[in-house]
Amino acid sequence: MKKIGILITLILSTFFRLNAEEGMLIPSLIKAFESDMQAMGMKLTADQIYSVNNSSLKDAILHFGGGCTAELVSSEGLLLTNHHCGYSQVQSHSSLENDYIKYGFWAKNKEQELKNPGLTAARIVRIDDVTISVLNGTEGLTGEAFEKRLKENMKVLENDAVTGNHYKAEIKAFNYGNDYYMVVKEVFTDIRLVGAPPSSVGKFGGDTDNWVWPRHTGDFSVFRIYAGKDNKPADFSADNKPYSPLHFFPVSVRNRVPGEFTMVYGFPGSTEQHLSSGHLEYIQNKERPARISMRDKSLAAINASMASSDLLRIKYASKQARIANGWKKWIGQIGGLQSVDAIQIKLDREKAFNDKAATKSEWKEKYGQLVEQMNALVAERKDDDFAYAMDVEYIFIGAEMFKRCRSINKLIGEYETLKELGELSDEIEKYKKGSKSFFKDYDNPTDRKMFTALTDEYKKQVVDFSFSKYLSTRTSEELAKDIYEGSVLTDETKFNEFLDNLDENSIEEFKKNDQAYLLWKELFDHFVTVVIPKSRDFDAQMNGMLKIYVAGKMEMFPDGKHWPDANSTMRISYGKMEGSAPHDGMQYLEHTTLDGLIAKNQTGKSDFDLLPRMKELAAKKDYGGYDQDGDLWVCFTSSNHTTGGNSGSPVIDAEGYLMGLNFDRSWESTMSDYMFDPNRCRNITVDIRYVLWIMDKYADAGHLVKEMTLIKGDSPYEANSGSCSEKEKKCKRKKRRCKQKCKK
């Protein structure tokens, strides 16, 4: 009852209306936001968005591979997600003869669709608030006893939920454990690849354009869910049938109108809106800059190698993309947080929190000291967190030689057991295979450059590295010489010889003398025994306080818009299609077109390379009717609060039709993981009309478009979208066929 009360007050509050676009809302609570969404133009009811008893939009949205979102667009299980989400599947089916990465792949019929072992797509059956049951019997318990009871309760609830059905259930903490929800899902395991555009479409703009607006990326790929005869999940079988969904999205090819309602419905991974001012200050001014500096070093080494030869460019392309994606996002985040002065905003909010707490003795006792304590904890313990971040960057993201050490450490640790079980030679064969694929994309001199530069940077950042005999007594060059010229781990031939002659003696010898292994062992042992426990303890203490802080915000500011941080569960964010003005004197429009894509190509930069077909179609302006007033829209922005994991999420219009696929945010808005600024935070979507055009005109896969339900005609917004004379003027200006009929 209390919760419902809070939600109702929410809707009535003005504060909430001003911040209509912030927040990632729990679908099962969406009723509380229905009227506000409708006030923004939405024509749907809460029940059409989320319902347990009837089919609803949620049934057409799947958690794809655990890290992305995908949506159903046909009665035969046709599934859309981003190109970068299906990338590893496309890559796994590619070879030099069939280079699907470069030229794309399109199954001409269902027989040609390709299976993907290990890939899953999960439909959410229901999301239940189980807070009371999870906390049952935990009153008065603390520490381990509390955790134990909590886990037992969860186990019972999860087991009950899946008894007698084929579902899976998982309980997750929300709001740092103020709430618990159980997510019941149906997990499909036969997901086949149907199509993917060439990288020159799906990854157009590459790293140059990543996190950047204006954008022209056709970031989509196409899959199909197959199910058993009973339409339930089944592992791959030739007898499986295309899945018949409870709901699939009709696709809107109507004209878009700036300001129209948009909703993003998907699986955002993680946000941290509640961090204290001191905590944010530490992240913004110390932790992130240090991680960026580490990656500057790796990227400098990798980029130089990639520029030096085609072979190295190919070898390091995906590693470079992985390192650069986070690096570029963080730079954008810091810029955004600085320009809105996020720390000052946090300080002001903390003051308001403290002032409010001072108004009631009960609040004063519960919440009066909290802000100060959180900031004190950061001041006292930030080094523990920092050590963790630096070790992750150095040992796990940095030089790949460390990765080899980790893997060989496992083998020699299991040597005796494997020998006893008679499984040694099989295991060695596996390692040989693994090493083949590792060394295929490895370059000793590049890794050495990375190692040397990162070692110096790591020492500079952590300052006290006395725990490491190696780092304290040797220079990075000395270490690099021993490691990259002497270790068996940095040379494929030596490594295979080592595997071929593996026995007790060679292992002893290796453990005593291999300089790569010895350095890694020293660092890794320190990481496991000292760094991890300390950083976990810091997190546990901080999360305990954040739990009370969030409870305090909800109790003392019932009129604020409260939403739980993203945690990879299904969420809804609503907003409108709009541009932004993130820099003084500059305005971003809300959409881009094929003309802009061609203009980027004409700069000659390799990230904007195109295959000839695109240039031919563009030159002919052969838009196949997917244009808007003579322009083919490629991407658009809207003010929906999104984060990593929202990739592939459907962007849905006022009537529940698919407008496009979310795939990125603009650079200026990546700060929204910490603080959402309605003036600048925009998500980036590839327009579904561009997706259809690529399928239909570019890839000759019109049979897929025929499978979908296309919504044509006038959008409900069009009547108000500017006067007739304005439209005519625009058409004349563009000297293009103008299909816009003027309605008086």
DSSP conformation class of 25: B
Instruction: Report the interhelical angle of 444-462 vs 476-486 (nearest 10°).
Output: 150
- Phi/psi of residue 86, nearest 5 degrees: -95, 5
Catalytic (active site) residue 166: no
Residue 78 sits at the vertex; the CA angle it makes with 77 and 81, to the nearest 5 degrees, is 125
Among ligand ARG, ligand GLU, none, partner that 646 touches (CB below 5 to 8 angstroms by kind): ligand GLU
Catalytic (active site) residue 219: yes
Among 23, 214, 644, 660, binds ligand GLU (CB under 6 A): 644
> Which residue stretch of 18-26, 51-59, 141-149, 199-207 sits at the interface with ligand ARG (rule: CB under 6 A)?
199-207
Among ligand ARG, ligand GLU, none, partner that 210 touches (CB below 5 to 8 angstroms by kind): ligand ARG
Residues β-bridged to residue 71: 61, 80
Min dist CB 90 to ligand GLU, Å, is 15
Q: Which residue has the tokens 């020699």?
A: 412
Residue 275 or 453 with smaller CB distance to ligand GLU: 275
Q: Which of 647, 649, 669, 672 is catalytic?
A: 647
From CA 721, how far away is CA 248, in angstroms rounded? 29
Among 81, 276, 647, 666, binds ligand GLU (CB under 6 A): 647
CA dist list (Å): 452 to 59, 265, 306, 332: 51, 44, 18, 27
Min dist CB 321 to ligand ARG, Å, is 4
Min dist CB 726 to ligand ARG, Å, is 35
**Residues 341, 345, 350, 355, CA torsion sign:** positive
> Which residue stretch of 70-78, 254-262, 306-314, 639-647 sits at the interface with ligand GLU (rule: CB under 6 A)?
639-647
DSSP conformation class of 313: H
Nearest residue to 59 (alpha-carbon basis) of 44, 43, 45, 75? 75
Among 56, 646, 666, 685, binds ligand GLU (CB under 6 A): 646
From CA 225, how far away is CA 700, in angstroms rounded? 22
Q: Which of 59, 207, 209, 219 is catalytic?
A: 219
Binding to ligand ARG, residues 80-109 (CB under 6 A): 84
DSSP conformation class of 662: E
Among 305, 573, 647, 662, binds ligand ARG (CB under 6 A): 647
Residue 385 or 664 with smaller CB distance to ligand ARG: 664
Residue 254 or 291 with smaller CB distance to ligand GLU: 291
**Contact of 22 with 640, CB cutoff 8 Å:** no
From CA 321, how far away is CA 207, in angstroms rounded? 7
Min dist CB 671 to ligand GLU, Å, is 11
Asked if 663 is part of the footprint of ligand GLU (rule: CB under 6 A), the reply reads: yes
Residue number closest to ligand GLU, CB atom: 647
Residue 663, SS3 per DSSP: strand
Among ligand GLU, ligand ARG, none, partner that 207 touches (CB below 5 to 8 angstroms by kind): ligand ARG
Among ligand GLU, ligand ARG, none, partner that 56 touches (CB below 5 to 8 angstroms by kind): none
Asked if 325 is part of the footprint of ligand ARG (rule: CB under 6 A), the reply reads: yes
Which two three-digit tokens encode residue 37? 């969404």
Binding to ligand ARG, residues 200-229 (CB under 6 A): 203, 206-207, 210-211
DSSP conformation class of 577: B
Min dist CB 85 to ligand ARG, Å, is 8
Among 398, 644, 648, 656, binds ligand ARG (CB under 6 A): 644
Buried b (16+ CB within 10 A) or exposed e, 491-529: beeebbebbeebeeebbeebeeebbbbbbbeebbebbee
Asked if 83 is part of the footprint of ligand GLU (rule: CB under 6 A), the reply reads: no
Among ligand GLU, ligand ARG, none, partner that 206 touches (CB below 5 to 8 angstroms by kind): ligand ARG
Nearest residue to 340 (alpha-carbon basis) of 680, 637, 23, 579? 680
From CA 427, how far away is CA 411, in angstroms rounded? 8
Among 21, 578, 664, 687, binds ligand GLU (CB under 6 A): 664
From CA 240, how far away is CA 110, in angstroms rounded? 11
DSSP string covering 34-95: HHHHHHTT----HHHHS-SSS--GGGGEEEETTTEEEEE-STT-EEEE-HHHHHHHHHHT--
Residue 88 or 475 with smaller CB distance to ligand GLU: 88
Which two three-digit tokens encode residue 272? 């941290």
Residue 179 or 207 with smaller CB distance to ligand ARG: 207
Among 6, 7, 52, 321, binds ligand ARG (CB under 6 A): 321
User: Is there a cis peptide before residue 558, judged by omega within 30 degrees of 0?
Assistant: no
Min dist CB 211 to ligand ARG, Å, is 5
Q: Are strands 633-638 and 591-593 parallel, antiparallel or unpaired?
A: antiparallel
Asked if 664 is part of the footprint of ligand ARG (rule: CB under 6 A), the reply reads: yes
> Which residue stretch of 136-144, 250-258, 537-545, 658-666 sits at the interface with ligand GLU (rule: CB under 6 A)?
658-666
Nearest residue to 573 (alpha-carbon basis) of 37, 167, 16, 7? 37
Residue 262 or 647 with smaller CB distance to ligand ARG: 647
Residue 197 or 645 with smaller CB distance to ligand GLU: 645
Which two three-digit tokens encode residue 541? 């203490």
From CA 578, how far away is CA 666, in angstroms rounded? 13
Min dist CB 65 to ligand GLU, Å, is 11
From CA 65, how far away is CA 121, in angstroms rounded? 6
Residue 325 or 721 with smaller CB distance to ligand ARG: 325
Give the x-and-dash track for 589-628 against ligand ARG (CB under 6 A): ----------------------------------------
Residue 121 or 699 with smaller CB distance to ligand GLU: 121
- Ramachandran region, residue 645 (left: φ > 0; alpha: ψ -120 to 50; beta: rest): left
Asked if 665 is part of the footprint of ligand GLU (rule: CB under 6 A), the reply reads: yes
Among ligand GLU, ligand ARG, none, partner that 643 touches (CB below 5 to 8 angstroms by kind): ligand GLU
Asked if 643 is part of the footprint of ligand GLU (rule: CB under 6 A), the reply reads: yes
Q: Which of 63, 83, 84, 216 is catalytic?
A: 84
DSSP conformation class of 700: S
From CA 543, how far away is CA 175, in angstroms rounded? 10
Catalytic (active site) residue 305: no
Among 564, 579, 645, 656, binds ligand GLU (CB under 6 A): 645
Asked if 67 is part of the footprint of ligand ARG (rule: CB under 6 A), the reply reads: no
- Phi/psi of residue 186, nearest 5 degrees: -115, 115
Among ligand GLU, ligand ARG, none, partner that 11 touches (CB below 5 to 8 angstroms by kind): none
> Which residue stretch of 105-113, 588-596, 610-618, 636-644 sits at the interface with ligand GLU (rule: CB under 6 A)?
636-644
Continuous segment of H or E residues that includes residue 221: strand 221-227
Which two three-digit tokens encode residue 539? 């997190």
Binding site for ligand ARG (CB under 6 A): 84, 203, 206-207, 210-211, 321, 325, 644, 647, 664
Binding site for ligand GLU (CB under 6 A): 642-647, 663-665
Active site residues: 84, 219, 647
